[in-house]
């Protein structure tokens, strides 16, 4: 049985496995420019974030109906449960679907149908975080927030993803202010490929409570000190970092140094269908390649629940933490 954990950095569209992509393509009469799942897997060799995003957006063409989004989320939740996930805070990218003529209601209600039954079906509690595409305009982000208003009961927070460099957080000041006024929690990708100053901006201008990736904080000792002092959680994704070449090889991932520095680190899968593993796979490889002992792995699992948006249900958080503490490693 894997270590109980929360997953806090997971793009639901990044869980689209080749088999499901082809099944949905057939169901919806969409032709994919790949002969079969094997040919598609061949395309999973990325140079950087953008080369991944190109394929990520291309494959979304198969997601058309509410049922498609339900099936996608159901498949993820089943896999997550098998990987020890007790709680998942799930990103989705509505603009990528709206642009293809898929309505906001189709996306959110489709996902929500799977999420509603997740606790009984998979033993996984869930939340939804709506991400804005930072390479689209601030106006488009604001329109997207307005389009989501009828569904706000389903959404815990907002995030910021897609191509980072050249799209600093400050571009989205107004939409983050509007979201805060609606009572939404705030996170943002920062410091994956972008500079440490983007992390500072995400904190100061957008008021984020968690930083997604945040890897490049290490280039700014004063920023590291601040993140430690303010206990800002970082949602790290080690396999993603290797596949998108943010780090050269897993053995050189700075996670141990980040933990030693006192940063509140969590380990997550990002886009597991594309990056070679789900969240427990990430825990296993960091355990092996970075020599993290069971005590450190337990610390990462504890951090995942401490960093999760469970303030409305502290009893649940305490229960999850007790499960982590009671866990015995094989
Ligand atoms: N980074 C930025 N945008 C993304 C990612 C990521 O790792 N995955 C999906 N959208
Ligand atoms: Zn991500």
Collapsing DSSP to helix, strand or coil, 292 comes out as: coil
Ligand 1 in reach of 94 Cβ (< 6 A): no
* CATH number of 124's domain: 3.20.20.140
Tokens 């039954």 correspond to: 117
Ligand 1 atom 4: residue of nearest CA: 162
Ligand 2 is a single-atom ion; what residues have CB below 5 A from it?
270
> Ligand 1, closest atom to CA 271?
8
Chain-centre distance for alpha carbon 313: 21
**What pLDDT is recorded for position 64?**
98
Instruction: Tally Cβ neighbours within 10 Å of residue 25.
Output: 18
Q: Looking at the domain assignment, is residue 329 inside a domain? A: no
Q: How far apart are CA 20 and CA 68, in angstroms?
A: 10
Specify if 330 maps to a domain. no
In the predicted model, residues of the chain with pLDDT beneath 70 are: none
Residue 327 domain-assigned? Answer: no
- For residue 195, give both structure tokens: 């500079």
Instruction: Let me know if 192 is a catalytic residue.
Output: yes
DSSP state of 270: B
Residue 229 confidence (pLDDT): 98
Cα separation, 73 vs 121, in Å, equals 12
Residue-wise pLDDT tens digits, 164-186 = 999 999 999 999 999 999 999 99
What does the alpha-carbon distance between residue 44 and residue 88 come to, in Å, rounded to a whole number?
25
Helix (H) or strand (E) run with residue 89 in it:
strand 85-92
Residue 171 tokens, joined: 């571009």
Nearest CA among 234, 294, 220, 286 for reference residue 263 = 234
pLDDT (0 to 100) of residue 75: 98
Which atom of ligand 1 is closest in space to residue 192's alpha carbon?
A: 1
Q: How many domains does the chain have?
A: 1
Ligand with smallest separation from the Cα of 270: 2
Residue 189: CB within 6 Å of ligand 1? yes
pTM here? 0.98
Q: d(Cα 302, Cα 118) in Å, to the nearest integer?
A: 22
Q: Which domain holds residue 246?
A: 5-322
Selection from 212, 150, 211, 159 nearest residue 185 by Cα: 159
Whether residue 163 lies inside any domain: the answer is yes
Ligand 1 close to Cβ of residue 240 (< 6 A): yes
**pLDDT, position 105:** 98
**Does any domain span residue 192?**
yes
Q: Are 24 and 73 in contact (CB under 8 A)?
A: no
């Amino acid at each position: 049985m894997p270590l109980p954990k929360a997953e806090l950095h997971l793009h639901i569209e990044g869980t689209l496995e080749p088999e499901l992509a082809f099944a949905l393509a057939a169901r919806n009469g969409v032709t994919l420019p790949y002969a079969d799942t094997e040919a598609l897997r061949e395309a999973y060799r990325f140079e950087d974030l953008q080369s991944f995003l190109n394929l990520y957006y291309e494959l979304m063409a198969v997601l058309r109906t509410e049922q498609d989004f339900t099936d996608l989320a159901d498949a993820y939740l089943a896999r997550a449960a098998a990987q020890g996930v007790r709680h998942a805070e799930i990103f989705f990218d509505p603009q990528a679907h709206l642009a293809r003529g898929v309505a906001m209601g189709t996306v959110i209600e489709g996902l929500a149908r799977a999420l509603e039954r997740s606790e009984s079906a998979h033993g996984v509690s869930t939340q939804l975080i709506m991400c804005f595409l930072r390479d689209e305009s601030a106006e488009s982000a604001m329109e997207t927030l307005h389009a989501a208003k009828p569904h706000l009961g389903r959404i815990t927070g907002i995030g910021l993803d897609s191509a980072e460099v050249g799209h600093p957080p400050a571009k989205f000041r107004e939409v983050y202010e509007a979201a805060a006024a609606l009572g939404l929690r705030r996170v943002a990708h920062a410091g994956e490929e972008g500079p440490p100053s983007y992390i500072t901006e995400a904190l100061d201008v957008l008021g984020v409570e968690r930083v997604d990736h945040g890897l490049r904080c290490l280039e700014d000792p004063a920023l590291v000190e601040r993140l430690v002092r303010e206990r800002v959680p970082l949602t790290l994704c080690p396999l993603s970092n290797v596949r998108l070449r943010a780090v050269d090889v897993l053995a050189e991932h700075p996670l141990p140094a980040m933990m030693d520095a006192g940063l509140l680190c969590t380990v997550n899968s990002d886009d597991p269908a594309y990056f070679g593993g789900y969240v427990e796979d990430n825990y296993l490889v960091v355990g092996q390649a970075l020599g993290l002992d069971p005590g450190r792995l337990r610390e990462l699992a504890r951090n995942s629940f401490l960093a999760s948006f469970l303030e409305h249900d502290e009893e649940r958080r305490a229960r999850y933490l007790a499960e982590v503490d009671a866990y015995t490693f094989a």
